[in-house]
A and B are shown apart, each in its own frame.
Chain A
Amino acid sequence: MGEGLGMNGTRIWALLLAAGLALAGCSGGNEAAPMQLEIARATKGLVGQMVQGRKSASGQAELSRAQLEAIGMPISEVSAERRDLKAYLFLAEAHRDETPGLIEVWMTGDQLATVTTRDGLLIATRGLGGDLLSSAVPQAPEGGPQSGALEQRIHYGDNRERGLALSCEVADLGPASIEILGNQHATRHLRQSCEGAGGQVINEYWRDPRDGTIWQSRQWAGPYVGYLGLRRVTK
């Protein structure tokens, strides 16, 4: 919707302001930098981005399975659809708490963002902006998604959390064979259709019927982050 229109205006304004802030200043020590300085730094960053041009969104080079396995850590590929971003995340933490299911925290290589799952079901994000703070996901006794209430808590603009309640139905779409970086997995394709909060969400899972591993999924992380695609590359 008219992105191009806003863009020209934005660039001109930013460049004008940057020119005005040529005397940008600097600081040192433990005190917070003055407000003027923070603005100047942010503006420099903006201008820098414009000069470099739009960074190629999926900047990460394609890695081969052999390279990823050589890292020696469990790796998942995570893509953020709205931003056209894709990255390989490593497993930073795995443990259990009182709620059933293994918690796995996946972290980007630059340690700026994490995506957390419980038995493969998305329960939290950090570092993305408008993050999924926590969620209650309906889980089947044997693991995997189930029909029922899905409640998400989202970081809302005023530093508050805002709840979002969805009511979900799971359908088994039958067996599906998927390929992840050269490896074939025999899975069952599950579709979780959710309604609530004035909209609809469709989460999809490709689950290994033998050990319950969710090899691949497309899950919704709230109104700000949108859909994330998760693919487990190495266990």
Chain B
Amino acid sequence: MTLPILSQDHPTQKPPFRAGGAALMLTLTLAAILAGPSGARAQSGAYLPPEVGSEEPSFTPLPAPSLNFYGVPGIIDMPSGETMPDGQYTTTLAHFGGQTRLTLSFQATPWMGISFRYHGIAHYNLYGFNTYYDRNFDVRFRLLQESQYLPQVTMGLQDFSGTGLFGAEYFVASKTIRTPAVWGSARDGGKLLVSGGIGWGRLGSYHNIGSFGNRPAYDGSANFGGKPSYDQWFRGPYALFGGLEWRPNDRLGFKVEYSSDAYTVETQKTSVFDKKSPFNFGVEYQWTQSSRLGLYYMYGNEIGASIQVQLNPRQPLTLLQQKAPMPISPRSDWAGPPEAWTTDWVESADYRLGLRDLVAEELKASGLVLESLELTGTTAELRYRNPRYTPQAAAVGRAARALAASLPPSVETFRLVPVSNGMALSAVILRRSDLEALEYAPEAVAGLEAVMGLADAAAAPGPEAMEGPDLYPDFSWSISQYFAPSYFDPSRPVRLDVGADLRLTYLPAPGWRISTKLRQRVWGNVKDGRPSNSVLPHVRTDQNLYAQHGSTIENLYVARQWRPGRNFYARVTAGYLESMYGGLSAELLWKPVGSWLGFGIEGNYVIQRDYDQLFDFRDYKVFTAHTSAYADLGGGYEAQLDVGRYLAGDRGATFSLDRTFANGWSVGGFFTLTNVSSADFGEGSFDKGIRFRIPLNWMLGTPSRSGMGLVIRPVQRDGGQRVDVPGRLYDQVREAHLKGLEAGWARVWE
């Protein structure tokens, strides 16, 4: 139980690009604000559902299963056999009898759901804890889908690693029975859900009907938690549980259940609450499209309450609405017959500069920045920055339109090169006549994809290329507020710092970047966090010491990015890389544009920065290095393996798996195993965590590349930690390669 923190300030490998970092609280608040069908943008016309009773086809999903106190599909305290829709991302806050549970769940695949829970028990008064906090992971597998006669069946493992205090395993079946809709509209009619199951562990603790094998007790002295407790699974006494949920309409739900959880520790070893009955009762109300409120009478003595917020990456809170593009006017309508299209204009440098200015204006109107334009009589190569659109395909479409609207008719071939920090990512090749022919074709999106060409871009623009007008040196700045939370301190679950950031960025020439972020804290209590008890070098656990200082240089560095050769990308960064480390970082990535696989190497020589985060360093110096393999597994699943040496000098490997969506949503997890023993690592045994990113375009409905990213580690320790270097290469590159372009291609005409 030591200084458990997390931070979005050092996300492992995969920082959400441009995601400054945001508090979980802010995420939830915004979700609550924007969740309603009456979100203010709806007034301005973003999306209104059809009239109730309309016969129109609809893409709005039917109401999802409701969630139980553990934040998984279920009744009240018991699970049900239901499965969430694919990709569903839910947050549940539930409280009864001194117990508070905050659960994040994600339906990672159509058949597997995972959950992370933070659990607080007040008046625990055991083992030296007044209020006891615990973090646990669940996993659920769908075994059977509901059919006309058969129920849906789920197998679940609750709190399957860690202390196992909430450990339970179960099989549960649920069957839906249609009922008439009453007291309100029901798109799918009323329904009664009947559930029954068998549970072990906690769910086998009340009136067990038998026992299977031996369930060893959790031994806190020999176990640092964090490892799957498979020797306990489906062992020991088992008991039956069940319940009913009646949803007479789309808003209301009534629940009753018989619980097989005896709450032995909470009611017998100590007295967290009084349990007088195994029966629970509840009523729930769908407050907004994504949030549901519940009120319950629990165990014959307690009042309970819950809030369930359900989001889905495929169902934006606000539909994306962006300015319509100008239609493409075919050359045959304004330029006469093709025989008359001359290339004489190429000879005039002034004329070409005029064209460049025209294209730059058109790009600017779409939020893009012209880096360079190279014209021959029949071809154009446009290099541009995309600060606005999440899918690169949307920027490709706008860039192609800008060329079609500006260039003389003889230019037929467009090479569109997205550029990130001066580094060319790929070349999308489109024929102007295809754009003219396909814009309003019945299958415009697929049609253009079929004739699109993709190639590796040349390292630098050609000698005849015209640089963007007055682009370099390019200076940008911003002032914004920040929220920096820290979680899971046993004495205070959430700590928070707030203040302001000043960012300054200077780009002297393509590929060069000088950047800094200065931070002034206005208020915060992260500094009151617990001191580290780590026996390893304190490479991450001195966060409270760093938090003593309120005026800091978060980073200050010079970076250079370039293309050393075909399929290769390179970066060197020097300076104060992040709040805890400064030094030199170099990275090389190999990633062909059409490949699903990429490889990279990275080396960092870093020195730990002084706690005041100004210019001084401490004594700790370390060389870390990793080789990485990146695999796009298809369907949005991305895997990454990093093998090498970490900040504490430990050696090992990190495996991570993320599910990403084309609008910028991603949810994933990672773990790192190194040669540090469980005992030396401390609580949790090894480094692991979950991370997610919610894009702003999904919440606000305006095009944007920003998102709120968060990495949550159950425990922040010193083993398996990496330095957080700004601007790692793979995420910049991936989105402009074949898989990334394909994923968001539907937006190419918008």
Residues of A in contact with B (beta carbons under 8 Å apart): 1-7, 9-10, 13-14, 16-17, 21, 23-40, 42, 46, 49-50, 54-55, 57, 80, 82-83, 85, 92-93, 95, 97-99, 103, 105, 107, 111-114, 116, 118, 123-124, 126-131, 133-136, 151, 153-162, 164, 166, 196-201, 220, 223-224, 226
Contacts and interface: CB of A to CB of B under 8 A. Distances in A.
| Among all A-B residue pairs, the 7 with the closest Cβ atoms | A29-B476, A27-B478, A127-B324, A199-B57, A6-B36, A136-B442, A129-B319
B444 A97 contact: no
Q: Name, among B38, B55, B251, B313, the residue most crowded by chain A CB atoms within 10 Å (CB to CB).
A: B38
Interface string B293-337: 000000000000000000011111011111111111110010000
A157 B522 CA distance: 38
A21 B522 CA distance: 13
B242 interface: no
A201 B503 CA distance: 52
A133 B20 contact: no
Given A158-B661, A160-B662, A97 B445 contact: no
Contacts of B437: 97-98
A21 B323 contact: no
Contacts of A224: 47, 59, 319
B147 interface: no
Contact of B50 (A46, A49, A131, A226): A226
A3 B746 CA distance: 32
A157 B664 CA distance: 11
Contacts of B325: 126
Contacts of B59: 154, 156, 162, 223-224
Nearest to B365: A111
Nearest to B51: A82
B268 interface: no
Contact of B43 (A31, A54, A134, A151): A54
Nearest to B17: A32
B500 A95 contact: no
A25 B324 contact: no
A129 B33 contact: no
A153 B698 CA distance: 20
Interface in B16-37: 18-20, 22, 29-30, 32-33, 36-37
Q: Is the interface of B mostly helix, strand, loop or mixed?
A: loop
Interface of B: 18-20, 22, 29-30, 32-33, 36-41, 43-52, 55-60, 184-185, 250-251, 287-288, 312-316, 318-330, 333, 369, 385, 387-388, 390-391, 436-445, 471, 474-483, 500-501, 503, 505, 522, 661-663, 665, 696, 698, 700-702, 704-708, 743-744, 746-747, 749-750
Contacts of A118: 440
Contact of A6 (B38, B315, B330, B442): B38
Contacts of B704: 32, 38
Nearest to A198: B57
B39 A28 contact: no
Given A30-B476, A32-B388, A35-B20, A13 B39 contact: no
A54 B41 CA distance: 11
A95 B475 contact: no
A23 B50 CA distance: 39
Contact of A39 (B43, B46, B522, B696): B696
B292 to A, nearest CB: 12
B445 A161 contact: yes
B48 A83 contact: yes
Given A1-B52, A128-B321, A154-B59, A33 B478 contact: yes
Contacts of B333: 95
A131 B468 CA distance: 33
B40 A14 contact: yes
Contact of A13 (B33, B474, B501, B663): B33
Contacts of B52: 1
Given A126-B325, A134-B444, A223-B56, A34 B480 contact: yes
12 contacts: A9-B36, A13-B33, A14-B40, A25-B478, A26-B479, A29-B477, A32-B704, A49-B44, A80-B45, A97-B441, A159-B743, A226-B48
A156 to B, nearest CB: 7
Contacts of B750: 126, 131, 133, 155
A115 to B, nearest CB: 9
A128 B321 CA distance: 6
B706 A32 contact: yes
A1 B37 contact: yes
Contacts of B60: 223
B87 to A, nearest CB: 8
B440 A97 contact: yes
A111 B442 contact: no
Contacts of B322: 127
B479 A25 contact: yes
A214 to B, nearest CB: 17
Contacts of B481: 21, 23-25, 36, 40
Contacts of A27: 476-480
A113 B498 CA distance: 40
A160 to B, nearest CB: 5
A155 B33 contact: no
B50 A42 contact: no
A71 B639 CA distance: 58
Contacts of B48: 82-83, 226
Contacts of A42: 696, 700, 702
B19 to A, nearest CB: 6
Nearest to B367: A32
A133 B445 contact: yes
Given A42-B700, A113-B324, A2 B478 contact: no
A24 B480 CA distance: 6
Contact of B441 (A25, A40, A99): A99
A83 B287 CA distance: 23
A220 B36 CA distance: 25
Contacts of A5: 287
B43 A156 contact: no
A23 B501 CA distance: 11
A66 B57 CA distance: 40
Contact of B696 (A35, A49, A131, A196): A35
B327 A93 contact: yes
A112 B321 CA distance: 10
B445 A134 contact: yes
Contacts of A26: 478-479
B728 to A, nearest CB: 17
B3 to A, nearest CB: 27
Given A42-B696, A157-B698, 9 more contacts: A13-B33, A28-B478, A35-B708, A38-B704, A42-B702, A114-B324, A134-B749, A151-B442, A157-B663
A13 B35 CA distance: 11
Nearest to B522: A23
Given A37-B478, A98-B437, A6 B33 contact: no
Contact of B45 (A83, A95, A116, A154): A83
* A80, A111, A160: residue with the most chain B Cβ atoms closer than 10 Å: A160
A103 B706 contact: no
A194 B40 CA distance: 33
Contact of B36 (A7, A23, A34, A151): A7
Contacts of A55: 43-44
Contacts of A130: 47, 319
Contact of B480 (A40, A46, A200): A40
A6 B285 CA distance: 12
Contacts of A16: 29
A201 B57 CA distance: 8
A113 B704 CA distance: 19
Nearest to B55: A200
Contacts of B500: 23, 25
Task: Give the residue among B316, B481, B701 with the most A Cβ atoms within 10 A.
Answer: B481
A16 B190 CA distance: 37
